[in-house]
Structure 1
Amino acid sequence: MHRLLTLMALVAGTLLPAAGAFGIPANAAPNDPSGIGIRLVDAPVELRDNPRALVYVIDHVSPGTTIERRIEVSNNTGAPTDIAVYPGAAVIKDGSFVGLEADTPNELTTWTSVSAPRLTLAEAQKEVVDVTIAVPSDAAPGEQYAVLWAQTAAGEAEGITQVSRVGIRVYLSVGEGGEPAADFDLESLTAKRTDAGLPTVTAVVRNTGGRALDLRGTLTLSDGPGGLSAGPFPVRLGTTLGLGQTAPIAVELDEQLPNGPWAAELSVTSGLLTKTEQASITFPVSGAGETVPLSDDGVPGWWWLGGGLVVLAAFGLGVRFVRTRRLHSHR
């Protein structure tokens, strides 16, 4: 039987450590008000200041640990509905967090169970489901990904089953000791114009830390033609990077924006980690402009090159001055 996936939304949620949790507001993980919904009921106290902890399953545990959490499933379809609740495998690929088809398994899903795999909910009814993740004592270290799905299936029509599902992302890191630190580098900026003439800035981001990243941010332009400033413009959402992965993020700007030059400041955040880069950019009339490399600490690579030449020149002048003084002293 062919299945037609008509709705897939990775709605935020968070898995928690065994102790110390706080409630998440009902609007922290918005769902389609006209369909089924799913949200995390509580989150770790130690992550209360981390915005990702309100929208994603983020945890680090030692092998042999069992954690139990709660999720809320709701029905707003307008009629009584049968809902399946289950874990499914996920991967991070090409800058996106992707839930695999149906209940595709991986190691994390085999460790995960739910208290109510099947629900029948009346219109506007909600029900809390317990989730248990039992990590085996011989589990290999590393980070794994899954989705806690809530799914409905409509009646068949011409051999096609229409499936709707929403889910909570799961990011589970396994290993002894403390949680691996998250980190990333912004490697370059490129100013472009699309075929329609829309100015766009892309930045290449590399995940250099020990946790996956979900990126957001802003771009601000200043010192433009005639002293103009523009922004902040939001980074296009949806970029997720796994360990060691590299991907571009994009910022779309106003089509009336002059070519420049501009002083660009890009600020990118994942959780509590924020990095800011600055560079001088100029938009081309069409296509892609010059790619500006960036250093690890937010200073453009050309600045370091120029600064190095200045330091080298100053060093040479200093040596010449000392030699001249010695010569005069000798005479």
Structure 2
Amino acid sequence: MRSLPALRNLLAFLAVVLVAVGVPASALAAPDQPAGETPAGSIGIRLLDAPVALKDDPRALRYIVDNLPPGTTITRHVLVSNDTGAPAKIDVYPGAARVADGAFALAEPGEKNALTSWITVDRPTVELADGEQAEVAVTIAVPKDAPEIEQYAVIWASHKAPASNGITNESRVGVRVYLSVGPGNGPPADFTISSLTPRRGPDGLASVVATVTNTGGRAVDLSGALNLSGGPGGLSAGPIDSAVATIAPGEDGEVVISVPDSTALPAGPWNADVKLESGILEHDMSATLMFPDKGDGDSVGASDSTSWPLIGGIVVAVLAVAGVGAYLVVRKRRPSGTDQ
């Protein structure tokens, strides 16, 4: 039998690895943390520049998003920060990723793909005092024979620190990379909302699920809000934020909007309005919903939906950019003819 100390060390080993998903390009934080701030006791990373042509697209201000012809080289910059309370040695490197099952899925540490083989960083290791920051250049060199598809990766910042029991803790934060290869501006991005479905879980909480199809040639990161109105007795609720879903080109997916504190929410009917956006793209759908009654377990209600597209215009772009504009500065193009 294992000794008690050995078993304790095994359990500690299983619990110590912390991997933070690169949702914003700033230091990865809790959803309510202001963008651009690094949580105390952690490391952080955020994007510093974006293509001039995409300066109004909030996705391009958070992630490395671009379309490049084969044989093209670009350089972007990230800012790595240390707020661990002690000096830290931070490794910076590319890692593989993919889009599957409605999520931006991270590969296992050390796993590579074609895109990671095209990426180099000028400072693979930075040593920072507590509170210090460092800029790292990320170069992407697309081979002349590269396939004309969209590929995905993450620029990771990783810090390893020994724990008191001798086990090494690893913290990682990252910036997503969405790179489409092809001529011109690349394939356009778009999506449609086909239905809104009311649901109620075994816990009695209600949710609305938007079924979405990615009809464009680029991955979309979808988020939005639900408004409920015209309910029994004139009740209304919202706006209620959705979860985030990433859907690959040509794929179907779901965006879930959970209604908080909804165990006592009447079945309806309700007028439901859902707006979803990805960057400057935005689409609407309206429906009349009937939620299942509480006590029906995990069940689906009835809906009568209509939808229409909205043009992702200047107002949407300005509002979205305002949330991150305080800390992201779009750099001017460098004199080099290959830097875009």
Task: Please tell me the TM-score bracket, short chain as reference.
Answer: 0.7 to 0.9
For residues 32-47 of structure 1, the aligned pairs below 5 Å read: 32-47=39-54
From 42, 63, 66, the equivalent of 2:70 is 63
Q: Which residue in the other structure is 1:178 paired with?
A: 185
**1:29 CA drift (Å):** 3.9
Q: Which residue in the other structure is 1:305 paired with?
A: none
Report the secondary structure of 2:53's partner residue.
Answer: helix
Q: Which residue in the other structure is 2:116 paired with?
A: 109
Root mean square deviation of aligned Cα = 2.2
Bigger-Rg structure (1/2): 1
**1:223 CA drift (Å):** 1.8
Q: Which residue in the other structure is 1:162 paired with?
A: 169
Contact in 2 for aligned 1:92/1:98 (Cα 8 Å): yes
Contact in 1 for aligned 2:289/2:304 (Cα 8 Å): no
For residues 1-331 of structure 1, the aligned pairs below 5 Å read: 4-13=16-25, 28-155=35-162, 160-236=167-243, 238-253=244-259, 254-255=261-262, 256-285=264-293, 286=296, 287-290=298-301, 292=303, 294=305, 297=308
Contact in 2 for aligned 1:187/1:205 (Cα 8 Å): yes
Report the secondary structure of 1:67's partner residue.
Answer: strand
Q: Quick one: distance in 2 between partners of 1:143 and 1:293?
A: 35
Contact in 1 for aligned 2:78/2:138 (Cα 8 Å): yes
Q: Quick one: distance in 2 between partners of 1:51 and 1:280?
A: 32
Contact in 2 for aligned 1:148/1:170 (Cα 8 Å): yes
Report the secondary structure of 1:52's partner residue.
Answer: helix
**1:201 CA drift (Å):** 0.9
Q: Which residue in the other structure is 1:23 paired with?
A: none
**1:65 CA drift (Å):** 0.5
Unaligned runs of 5+ in 2: 1-9, 27-33, 310-340
Q: Quick one: distance in 2 between partners of 1:291 and 1:212?
A: 30
Contact in 2 for aligned 1:40/1:71 (Cα 8 Å): yes
Report the secondary structure of 1:9's partner residue.
Answer: coil
Q: Any idea what the Cα deviations from partners look like across 1:133-159, whole Å, max 9, x if unmatched? A: 000111110100000000011227777
> How many percent of aligned residue pairs carry the same amino acid?
46
Change (3 A) 1:292 1:260: closer
Q: Any idea what the Cα deviations from partners look like across 1:56-112, whole Å, max 9, x if unmatched? A: 211111111000111111111111111111000001121111221223111111000
The count of aligned residue pairs is 285
TM superposition score normalised by structure 1? 0.80
Q: Quick one: distance in 1 between partners of 2:177 and 2:117?
A: 13
Contact in 2 for aligned 1:260/1:282 (Cα 8 Å): yes
Report the secondary structure of 2:249's partner residue.
Answer: coil
TM superposition score normalised by structure 2? 0.78
Contact in 2 for aligned 1:189/1:291 (Cα 8 Å): no
Q: Any idea what the Cα deviations from partners look like across 1:250-297, whole Å, max 9, x if unmatched? A: 111141322110111111111111110111111111332345475664
Q: Quick one: distance in 2 between partners of 1:32 and 1:219?
A: 29
Q: Quick one: distance in 2 between partners of 1:295 and 1:239?
A: 22
Change (3 A) 1:74 1:257: same
Unaligned runs of 5+ in 1: 15-26, 299-331
**1:5 CA drift (Å):** 2.3
